[in-house]
Structure 1
Amino acid sequence: MKKIILILGIIVTAFSSCSDYIEEDSRSAVPADETYKTASGFQLLVNTNYAWLKGIYGGAPWIFESGTDMYAEGRTPEPAGLSQYSQLVPSSSEIGPLYKSCYELIQSVNKTVYYSTVTEQNANVSVLVGEAKFLRASAYFLLVQNYGGVPIVNEHVTSPILSFTRNSAEEVYNQIIADLDEALANVGTDAYATSGKVNKRAVNDLLAKVYLTRGYETFGTAADFTKAASYADAAIAGQGLNIAFDQLFKPGNDLNAETIFSVQYDKNSTSTDPQNLGNNQFYYFSSYLGGSETKGGSPLRSYNLLPTGYALGLYEKGDKRWEATFMTEIYANYYDFFRVADKTNLKIKDFYEPKWFTPADRLAWETANESRKSTDFEYHPWGEYAAEYTLIKNFDYTTIPVKKFDDPDPTTPTSTGNVSTRDIILARLGETYLVAAEAYLKAGNPTTGLARLNEVRKRAGVANATAAQFNIDYILDERGRELLGEYKRWADLKRTGTLVARASAHNYKIEEANFVGVDGALKILRPIPQSALDLNQNKDFPQNPGY
């Protein structure tokens, strides 16, 4: 199963609020109930669970990355509630989609669990249910991190439910772990790169993240960190970080040996409706580059979620992740970077000077590349291409582009929209090493934790961190270098209790006062969407602090 394809002819699902669940629209001659009772039909039902991930991750990544220390808006505004907090309220339109999409996935899994008891029985049924419960746990994990306690709804719903009770965050974590324990016992062990399915490694990886995050909660214990370290090591399974960093995100290499889990796309399967079936990941993290109207066809960019000066300054000389993450040299034809093997004679349009350049380094670079400069060449000195620099200058190409998500083989011309069919990698081995590092540190074993972190630095080509440096702030810096743009940052800061301090220190749009909400409570959790509260007939459903 290389790619998961949503079979529209079998099922169409709709979820408009916490009280509207799955409605079936059978467009074949065979009723859905009858179809799902066959082995092939049940497999299709499981496939729809994977497909719901596209609704969670395929659009704008505001809720995952906006309003952090790593990214700030430039010429194009971001949703103000998520990017600046002071305007974040329960009716903010940008906080509802994640809530809705997660419950869509949960209800799809609930249907799968129901039909698993009545479908044609074989040895594969328990495996498929394990995969589905991993996905349900993933959805609940996103919900509890963002909103705190939420309703646990694990029944197959066939008629509207109009009243919900809010479970505690501790109860939600217990539900997540129960699902993952069952998944771990049942899913297969085939390599993800060949099967594309949830396997035991993916479950171990998610269990590590769940226990690590729960350990920081008021109801968490030291044992959570110990378990997180153990599950992280089980996911690592002795595998070294042997793939060069610039190959991890090389187009066409998304399913490499270090990818643990991802949202998978296929160009052929999205061709019928690329605007809705593709994803938007490559569209962010850069200034506007001119789009299709520019000679040479630069990719269309949003000009928001721009790397901050703090994010750019995390890299030191020799760190291989710098040039693997950012397009430091832009050619007259942007995509020539990917399409032309010998770049010796390509004309350079823009160059972004790294932090460590001295005046002598600049002179040496300009001298060596004089003949390669295009007629409109621009040299961008250090300090003049971060997000905050757009207050001074906000022309096209002002800020440095993130290239790791670029798609040089887009489904549609750039003029038709921000569409990519590259996979969105949600879990990979480099991050698992950093999860282990943090878990061991919090569990009171910094020596082992430092060793895990230094494996990541070794691959990057930089010196080992020292015991004196090794703390949560250093881990967050390393995660920033390793995982830039990978849908992790808000959760990282929220988990470690550093959101207010780091966002206000490094994001030019944010001050500490932005987080202060109703009754002086801080806006750490996102608000329960007002639409969900309005449609819930149980009015004894508390809102989060600060709203």
Structure 2
Amino acid sequence: MKNIISILGLLTMILTSCSDFLEEENKSSVTAEDFYITAEGFESLVNANYSQLREIYGGEAYIFCSGTDLYAEGRNAEPPGLSQYTQLTASSEGIAELYNSCYEAIQVANMALHYGELTEKTSTLDQRLAEIRYLRANAYFLLVQTYGGVSLVTEYISNPKLAFDRSSAEEVYDFIISELEEALKGVGAGTYDGRVTKRAVEHLLAKVHLTRGYEPFGASNDFSAAATYADNAIAGQGLTIPFLELWVPGNEMNSEVIFSVQFDQASISADPYNLGNMQAGYFSSYQGGSESAGDAPYRTYTLCPTQFAISLFDEGDERWEGTFMTTVYERYYDFYDVEDHGSLTVTEYYGPKWASTLEDQAAYEAAHPEATFHPYGIYVPSVSRNFDYETIPVRKFDDPNALFGEGRVSSRDIILSRLADTYLIAAEAYLQSGDPATGLLRLNEVRNRAGVAEATLAEFDIDYILDERGRELLGEYHRWFDLKRTGKLVERASAHHYLIEESNFVGANGEMKILRPIPQEALDLNQNRDFPQNPAYQ
């Protein structure tokens, strides 16, 4: 399925109001109407839908991760509106990207569903249409969580449309769930190969019901439905792969992955600085100049793990070594390229909290006189972190095959749904549905794999679940949504992000900046002047 990304005759820009539409580059004098009603043409259109995932997730990670309790800027500045909320406006940097890319994906999906009624009938047609419904629902889920109610555009726009109404968040959630329920009837039930499967739909249904359950319009059975869908997606599969192996470069299609954005070297080779993804470039300090190309990854020095993120890990937790590059060698990538690490020279070491005394430091420095020892509590982002290696590197997304430099250079897949996340969704859903005992069992499956003591019922609450999600999913694109969903965004971001105070969230007329603003460019392009902005930005 790695080649699903190839696209025939793709897109010009789709305006953020959806008023633009697809224009195909016609290289063979065959019209879109003629091409997409063939089996080959329609399959290319399906592939274009999967490719849109790259545009949603492949760029900057700020919309998913900034302004939370786990990540903050180090030397380099993040978009101030998204990361600190004080300068968050409808025109802020980074606000429009997700809005634009999701509506582009929705338009491509609408186009596929339109031609799905006209194209040649094949044995896979119904399955492909179900996959498209999942992808469209996923785009709307991102939109409704981020911006609240948005325009529900469900028909293919083949001629310019300039005015759009705003649907309520409740209406958008109803549409998402109905789409996913319809998709569930048609997608494949086999092993994940890059296409949407039944488990992927059930996982997303679980998260959608879980998220809607917190809303004032949530259904009374949302949490129980989320628990059921999560258990269906788990399907009795245990967490058997050691955490360190989950993140070995090249192992992105392991048996615990439920859905991901597909990349590979071949598909980005034509423009390797723009066709890959940027996930590997975040979550660490910068590690040298251009002379380190091939020796170390490029890092933005943004979205660095906060002290709170570091403090979540206890001794014996396999996720500590599986998440962080605690020992850096003279050549960073020798961690992957050299089997015998004992023969390597250590240049940087980040001490854990369970070895944080002066005696621990002295002992390590005596054994490794060439290494710089970074004591626990020091290697986190702050106004004084201005040198290379001053914050601990996250290694989960390292790509030794990536070119050195800023840009979309990584060809590793971006994992959107994996089994441990499903277990944690189930844990939260059972807790909120009034069955904490079962929820605790689901959470402890995750802790057992990590090699740490099981949680007890006395400590099992939403904060414990958020902490566990922080340990298990650090760097994956969930955190802002997790905090927003559970109503913990203001509390946790202001408590653990060194640049955020609770007052930063106060917007117009005392409204809280929980939702992001509808992008100003979308409002400007929309000829419906009654389209409302979110209250905190009016």
What TM-score does the superposition give when structure 1 sets the normalisation length? Answer: 0.96
Q: What is residue 312 of structure 1 aligned with on the other side? A: 310
Contact 2:2 2:263 in 1 (8 A): no
Letter of the structure 2 residue corresponding to residue 509 of structure 1: L
- The match for 1:143 is 143
Identity value in percent: 59
Residues 278-317 of structure 1: matches in 2 within 5 Å? Answer: 278-294=276-292, 297-317=295-315
* Structure 1 residue 409 corresponds to structure 2 residue 395: no
Deviations 1:331-378 (A, max 9, x none): 0000000110111110000000001115344344344x33xx43xx21
2:227–2:425 contact (8 Å) kept in structure 1: yes
Give per-residue Cα distances to partners, 1:104-161, cap 9 Å, x unaligned. Answer: 0001010111111110012311100000000000000000000000000011111111
Query: Residue 492 of structure 1: which of 471, 482, 493 is its match?
Result: 482
> How many Å separate the matches in 1 of 2:40 and 2:292?
48
Match of residue 440 from structure 2: 450
Q: Which residue of 2 aligns with 1:387?
A: 381
SS at match of 1:160: coil
d(CA) in 2 for partners of 1:269, 1:136: 23
Structure 2 residue 526 is matched with structure 1 residue 536: yes
User: Which residue does the alignment assign to 1:261?
Assistant: 259
Q: Can you list the C-alpha shifts for 1:430-453, whole angstroms capped at 9, x where unaligned?
A: 000000000000000000000000
Instruction: Please tell me whether the aligned partners of residues 308 and 507 of structure 1 are also in contact (alpha carbons under 8 angstroms).
Output: yes
Cα distance 1:415–1:530, how it changes in 2: closer, same or farther (>3 A)? closer
Find the residue that maps to 1:330 and give its secondary structure.
Answer: strand
2:5, 2:396 → 1: CA distance? Answer: 25
Map of 1:73 onto structure 2? 73
123 and 489 in structure 1: CA distance in 2 versus 1, 3 angstrom threshold: same
Alignment of 1:24-423 (within 5 A): 24-192=24-192, 195-294=193-292, 297-359=295-357, 360-367=359-366, 369-370=367-368, 373-374=369-370, 377-388=371-382, 391-410=383-402, 412=403, 414-415=404-405, 417=407, 419-423=409-413
The answer for unaligned runs of 5 or more in structure 1 is none
C-alpha contact 1:4 1:265 (8 A) present in aligned 2: no
Assess if the C-alpha contact under 8 Å between 2:73 and 2:302 holds in 1: yes
Is 1:296–1:332's contact at 8 Å kept on the other side of the alignment? Answer: no
Q: Supply the AA of the counterpart residue of 2:119.
A: T
* 1:436-447 → structure 2 map (5 Å cutoff): 436-447=426-437
User: Mind listing any 5+ residue stretches in structure 2 that lack a counterpart?
Assistant: none
Residues 298 and 154 of structure 1: CA distance in aligned 2, closer, same or farther (over 3 Å): same
Tell me if the contact between 1:22 and 1:158 (Cα under 8 Å) persists in the aligned partners: yes
CA contact (8 A) 1:296 1:334 kept: no
2:20 corresponds to: 20
Once the two structures are TM-superposed, the CA of residue 41 in structure 1 deviates from its matched residue by 1.1
Contact kept in structure 2, 1:433 and 1:452, CA below 8 Å:
yes
Question: Is contact 1:290–1:396 with CA below 8 Å preserved after alignment?
Answer: yes
- Cα deviation, 1:443-499, whole Å, max 9, x if unaligned, reads 000000000000000000000000011000000000000000101000000000000
Preserved CA contact (<8 Å) 1:144 1:172:
yes
Distance 1:418 1:130 in 2: 30
Tell me whether 1:501 sits opposite 2:491 in the alignment.
Answer: yes
> Residues 403-439 of structure 1, C-alpha deviation per residue, up to 9 Å, x if partnerless?
00000112x3x14755110000000000000000000
Shift of 1:25: 2.5
Q: Which moved more, 1:252-261 or 1:537-546?
A: 537-546
Q: Which digits, 9 at most, give the CA deviation of each residue in 1:60-82, with x for residues without a partner? A: 10000000000011110000000
Rounded to whole Å, the distance in 2 between the matches of 1:333 and 1:292 is 14
C-alpha contact 1:150 1:169 (8 A) present in aligned 2: yes
Q: CA deviation at 1:27?
A: 2.4
State the shift of 1:221 in Å. 3.0
Task: Measure the CA separation in 2 of the matches of 1:257 and 1:296.
Answer: 30
Could you tell me whether the CA contact under 8 Å between 1:260 and 1:429 is conserved in 2?
A: yes
Structure 1 residue 175: Cα displacement: 0.6
- How far apart, CA to CA, are the structure 2 residues paired with 1:363 and 1:295? 33
- Give the direction of change, closer, same or farther, for the CA distance of 1:163–1:73 in structure 2 (3 Å limit): same
Partner Cα separation in structure 2 for residue 151 and residue 17 of structure 1? 11
Over 3 Å counting, the alpha-carbon distance change for 1:182 and 1:295 in structure 2 is closer
- In structure 2, what is the Cα distance between the partners aligned to 1:269 and 1:294? 25
In 1, Cα distance between equivalents of 2:352 and 2:220 = 41
Q: Distance in 1 between matches of 2:26 and 2:476?
A: 37
For residue 274 of structure 1, report the CA deviation from its aligned partner. Answer: 1.3
What is the RMSD computed on CA atoms of the aligned residues? 1.3
- Name the counterpart of 1:467: 457
In structure 2, what is the Cα distance between the partners aligned to 1:254 and 1:429?
Answer: 13
After superposing the two structures, state which structure 1 stretch, 135-144 or 85-94, moved more. 85-94
- Give how far 1:47 is off: 0.5
What one-letter code is carried by the residue in structure 1 that aligns with 2:122?
Answer: N
- Report how many aligned residue pairs link the two structures: 535
Is the Cα contact below 8 Å between 2:38 and 2:119 reproduced in 1? yes
Contact 2:67–2:480 under 8 Å retained in 1: yes
In 2, Cα distance between equivalents of 1:164 and 1:295: 48
Deviation at 1:298, TM superposition (A): 1.7
Q: Hey, what's the Cα distance between the residues in 1 that align with 2:294 and 2:330?
A: 6
TM-score w.r.t. length of structure 2: 0.97
Give the deviation of 1:220 after TM superposition.
0.7
Deviation of 1:394 after TM superposition, in Å, equals 2.0
SS of 1:262's partner is strand
1:72/1:306 contact within 8 Å kept: yes
Shift of 1:35: 1.1
> Is the contact made by 2:64 and 2:479 (CA closer than 8 Å) also made in structure 1?
yes
Distance in 1 of aligned mates of 2:33 and 2:274? 28
**CA distance in structure 2 between the aligned counterparts of 1:242 and 1:415, rounded to whole angstroms:** 36
Kept after mapping to 1: 8 A contact 2:68/2:497: yes
Could you tell me how far 1:172 is from its partner in structure 2?
0.2
**Aligned counterparts of 2:217 and 2:232: Cα–Cα separation in 1:** 25
Question: SS at 2:34's partner residue?
Answer: helix
* Secondary structure of the structure 1 residue equivalent to 2:373: strand
Distance 2:268 2:363 in 1: 47
Q: Deviations over 1:278-320 (max 9, x none)?
A: 1110100001100432487221111111100000000000000
The CA distance in 2 between the partners of 1:501 and 1:387, in whole Å, is 20
* Structure 1 pair 381–516 and aligned structure 2 pair: CA distance change class (3 A): same
Tell me the SS of whatever aligns to 2:349.
Answer: strand
SS at match of 2:259: strand
Distance 1:206 1:417, change over 3 A: closer
